[in-house]
Amino acid sequence: MSSKPAGFTDQEWEEISSDIPKESDPFLQKYLEGREALIEQENKQRSDASFRQSLSPIAQRACAIVAQIRAEEQQTVWTPALEDSLAQQQPEGKNITVYPGMMFSLSKTRMEATRLWKIVRRMPKGALLHAHLDAMVDFDFLFDVLLATPGMHILSDQPLSNDAALEGAVVKFRFFKNAGTEGDIWNEGYVAMTPVLLTQAADKFPEGGRQGFLKWLYSRATISRTEAVEQHHGVDHVWRKFFTCFRVVNSIIHYEPIFRRFLQRLMSLLKADGVNYAEIRFSWALDYYKQDSEVPETDYSAMMNVIDEEMKRFQASEEGKGFWGLRIIWATIRFQDTRAVIQDMDNCITTKITHPHLIAGYDLVGQEDLGRTHRDLLPEIMWFRKQCAEEGVDIPFFFHAGECLGSGSDTDHNLFDAILLGTRRIGHGFSLYKHPLLIDLVKEKRVLVESCPISNEVLRLCASVMSHPLPALLARGVACSLCNDDPAMLGQDTAGSTHDFWQALQGWENLGLEGLGSLAENSVRWAAFEDQTADAWQRDVREASLGSGLKAQRLKEWAVEWERFCLWVVDEFGG
């Protein structure tokens, strides 16, 4: 019968179809029961399983409502009409496919208009555990402050008179008491590193005056939509541009009046986004200037004092009510030579002695593939440990590791060293899912992965959130949190984490609001609110809200906010 090229006759089909099992047949029902049991058994291994099981009735309703909204918006927001409109914006011959969780740079505007965005924006996100200070505040705000600050000048290592110089020259911003009005930085006759009054230079920008200048400066400080989408350039190319972004922004915020405004804006943005606490990576050379000073500070005390003062001022304000604070993870640039690394480590220890409450830990940062590996840096790391012991300070590790595509490469093996060296959390851990033994170890040692999906996408580790490995880690029972890494430079344009939370919720089918809640709770559970020994840290992570310390208190406060949020979801969207 099956060899006939023609289709079944009606009589043949009637006979065959009567033999096809029905879903109500006992043996199929038995199969389906076993299938559901297998899925349920696997779900019990998820890192968020206990959180899901402990949901209150109100939280369960909120999660069901959000699941329904998510399903509806998949059908109504991510439509062929949107695909057509976005395709028309692309260069000729470049087609794109629209789907929930598509490339962030293409979907950002659309996502911010959804009901799901409104919900996630309101959600209490706990703590932000992985972000770099320079890349946190929206540049529209920062550039306005820069231009409004008296005495600011622009300098360049060459005339900014052609496209190559505009794109690649070393550009800095500095305060000078006497206005530098001689020279034109946009002209070939400009003498390198001559200070030119910023407002004058901005107004003389050859392509559009001040507005053209702002557009150019924004292009020097961010990964553009084109750079983010055109994957053929590769990881190293986009990282080179990324590094130059930091170089431009550094000199803007290393002047006290601007730095104070920067910190105020940072905390305001975090609080408005439901983030009550942040641990910020700090990678600054000694080039900080006090107000009205043309001479850089010789240590980090003045800068730390400003962080302390602005944090306390914000916490005392009505806007900052309930904000738990900021702490710093000192982060040495990993591609530096031994002398520079040791000097920065020494600066970290000195600053820990002068401002112990602000320094939470230590890290090594920068592109792992082009920088020195943990293996190569072992002598310096051991020196750091020895010096900490001699000075009587405890500075735990929160290492970047596995922010790479390799499998078995020297860079990939940074994960092994991070765990062996006792890191309390792993930054990114993108390649961790390839290592079954290390997965078991991070679970056993209760090491959290600080996951940054949008950063990993924009910096070319994955094409979109849909191909990100975080769901694999969650399924294997690895504790994780969601972080935004470098939001001002990567396109989020805000210090908050809503974009990463939204992408995860809409992009991953089995996460749901309950999964987001677990990730947020984890961020509080693994936050370094205070200095702790390794044993005390492990105890508080293990006991969570059942403990008696500061961490348990913060977890209880977050749980109250979570229930209040779930009630709002039910009231606002449950009708």
Q: What pLDDT score does 226 carry?
A: 54
d(CA 310, CA 315): 9
Q: Is the pLDDT of residue 331 over 70?
A: yes
Three-state SS string across 383-438, please? HHHHHHHHHCCCCCEEEEECCCCCCCCCCCCHHHHHHHCCCCEEEECCCHHHCHHH
pLDDT at residue number 86: 61
Task: Tell which wins on pLDDT, 520 or 136.
Answer: 520
The token pair that represents 109 in the structure block: 């505007």
**Residue 492: strand, helix, or coil:** coil
For 548-564, how does the pLDDT look when each residue is reduced to its tens digit (9 = 90+)? 999 999 999 999 999 99
Distance CA 308, CA 310 (A): 6
User: Do 488 and 222 contact (CB within 8 A), yes or no?
Assistant: yes
HEC string of 167-215? HHCCEEEEECCCCCCCCCCCCCCCCCCCCEEHHHHHHCCCCCHHHHHHH
Percent of the chain residues past pLDDT 70, beyond the cut = 90
194-247 confidence digits (pLDDT tens):
999 999 999 999 999 999 999 999 988 887 555 555 544 566 666 666 667 778
- What type of residue is 558? W
> Exposure pattern of 294-323 as b/e (b: 16+ CB <10 Å)?
eeebeebebbbebbeebbeebbeeeebeeb
Q: Calculate the alpha carbon distances from 211 to 175, 199, 208, 218 in Å.
A: 22, 12, 6, 11
Candidates 508, 510, 561; CA nearest to 123 is 561
pLDDT tens per residue, range 78-122:
665 665 666 566 554 455 555 444 556 677 778 888 999 999 999
Q: Are 131 and 245 in contact (CB under 8 A)?
A: no
Query: What local confidence, expressed as pLDDT, does residue 93 receive?
Result: 45
Per-residue pLDDT band for 367 (boundaries 50, 70, 90) equals confident
Q: Sheet with 275-282: list strands edge to edge.
A: 126-132, 275-282, 325-333, 359-365
Q: What confidence tens digit (pLDDT) does each residue in 451-503 have?
A: 999 888 888 788 778 889 999 999 999 999 999 987 877 777 777 899 999 98
CA 26: distance to chain centroid? 50
pTM for this entry = 0.91
pLDDT in tens, 392-439: 999 999 999 999 888 889 999 999 999 999 999 999 999 999 999 999
